[in-house]
């Protein structure tokens, strides 16, 4: 299915967030996630099911003021 990851359409064969992140190359990275604007904790990713068109945010530490 197609999901919107950080503003770009991506194809994934996985239907849960943890699997999709792994498939997209985020395995092992220190990131935090939100699905359709709702925060999804790392512990919830394995049981967070995705649907066609879901908006995924994957963020990581960055410089800030």
Partner 1 sequence: MLQLYQMTLRSRLLLGTARYPSPAVLADAVRAARAEIVTVSLRRESAGERAGQAFWSLVRELGVRVLPNTAGCHTVKEAVTTAHMAREVFGTSCVKLEVIGEDDTLQPDVFGLVEAARTLCAEGFEVFPYTTEDLVVAERLLAAGCRVLMPWGAPIGSGRGLNNLFGLTALRAHFPDVPLIIDAGLGVPSHAARALELGFDAVLINTAVAQARDPVQMAGAFAQAVEAGLAARQAGPIEPRDLASPSTPLIGTAFRG
Instruction: Give the pairing type, strands 8-11 and 2-5.
Output: antiparallel
Q: Which of 2, 15, 31, 47 binds partner 1 (CB under 8 A)?
A: 31
- The window from 12-20, 45-53, 55-63 that contacts partner 1 (CB under 8 A) reads 55-63
- Say whether residue 45 binds partner 1 (CB under 8 A): no
User: According to the binding rule CB under 8 A, does residue 13 interact with partner 1?
Assistant: no
Angle at 21 between CA 20 and CA 23, to 5 degrees: 65
Q: Where does residue 11 rank: exposed (0-12), middle (13-18), buried (19+ CB within 10 A)? A: exposed
Which residues contribute to the site for partner 1 (CB under 8 A)? 6-7, 24-26, 29-34, 37-39, 41-42, 57-65
């Amino acid at each position: 299915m197609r999901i919107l990851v950080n503003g770009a359409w991506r194809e994934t064969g996985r239907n849960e967030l943890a699997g999709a992140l792994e498939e997209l190359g985020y395995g092992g990275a220190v990131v935090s996630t939100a699905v359709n604007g709702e925060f999804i904790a790392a512990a919830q990713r394995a049981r967070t099911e995705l649907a066609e068109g879901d908006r995924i945010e994957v963020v990581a530490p960055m410089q800030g003021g």
